[in-house]
Amino acid sequence: MKMIRRNAVLLGLLLASLATTAASRRIDPAEAIASRDEKLVAEEIAALPAQRAGTIDLYAIGVAGDGSENVFRNEAEYFASLMRTRFHARGVVTLVSNPASVGSKPQPLASYDNLYDAVTGVARRMDRREDILLLYLTMHGTRDHELALYFPPYVEDALVPDDLRFVLRKAGIRNRVVVISACYSGGFVPRLRGDDALVMTAARQDRPSFGCGADSTATFFGRAWLVEGLNRTTDFAEAFRHAQARIHAWETLEGDEPSHPQVSEGTAIEKRLAAWRAQLAPGPAVAYPWPLDDLDHPQVQGEAASRR
């Protein structure tokens, strides 16, 4: 009887040990994706061409932060195509939070860690005093000036102005163009502006921007600056002025409260960008691969607004 009881106890301990071992082998999905992404970002960085001495090279990073709507994925992927084809960027890295990124089209997600790794990785490949980084972020934004890095269960975070300032400063990249397509994104301007920085946002710090939504294919700002502006000119600031006028027209037509896109351009970055454009032989315009509403038509404009 004692032997049977002892064997039963030993069996119980063995089963408990096996259960604990099996549980330890189960990897949390978020941890698995984070590990995967660390490798993916490292591979993308390793594949980037090194900078060319005596030539001002453009490096670009596109970030689609909110995985709840395809519109952000659309813009980040189009941004990458535009940078490669029309602007001959020396290197492009894309972070996309979207169901496809963990499914049929593996891509590193738009998490804080991946953004940090991408920026610091690009900084190692470029000449940080000579070359230019263009960072494009598209996602939802809050009144508290938080950019949504949101794609549960993998990413549930927010990017605030001091976060982005820290990432850029830590990387030591001197010449920076930062573009944020998000509501209330003007709240980032005070922390990012500088003589070596061009900062452009879709809205003032106290205003929403428009054009996102489950059925939208491009935000107002993304469409006006990326699709229209940058296919007309290679001057980022001039494309922004075009975007301001177009967005104002669309908002007036619909009766929206103006979003008031913001811009801050330092003297040094203005000169650096002019020198870069002087050596650039731009490629052809790049068509947007998703259908776009006719926002200049009042009836269609109203239908688009109802989907925000």
Domain boundaries, the chain: 28-305
Kindly state the tokens that stand for 134: 């263009």
**Mean pLDDT along residues 49-67:** 95
d(CA 213, CA 1): 70
Task: Please provide residue 103's backbone torsions phi and psi, each rounded to the nearest 5 degrees.
Answer: -125, -110
- Residue 303 pLDDT greater than 80, yes or no: no
Pairing label, strands 175-181, 91-96: unpaired
d(CA 54, CA 211): 41
- Look up tokens 């490798």; give the residue: 39
pLDDT single digits (tens) 215-261: 899 999 999 999 999 999 999 999 999 999 999 999 999 899 999 99
CATH topology (fold) of 28-305: Rossmann fold (3.40.50)
pLDDT single digits (tens) 85-122: 999 999 999 999 999 999 888 999 999 999 999 999 99
Pairing label, strands 197-201, 262-265: antiparallel
Residue 134 pLDDT: 98
d(CA 74, CA 86): 17
Whole-number CA gyration radius for the chain: 23
Kindly state the tokens that stand for 89: 């960027």
Q: Which of 232, 226, 201 is nearest to 290 (CA)?
A: 226
d(CA 79, CA 73): 10
Q: What is the pTM of this model?
A: 0.88
Handedness of CA 112, 199, 256, 215 (dihedral sign): negative
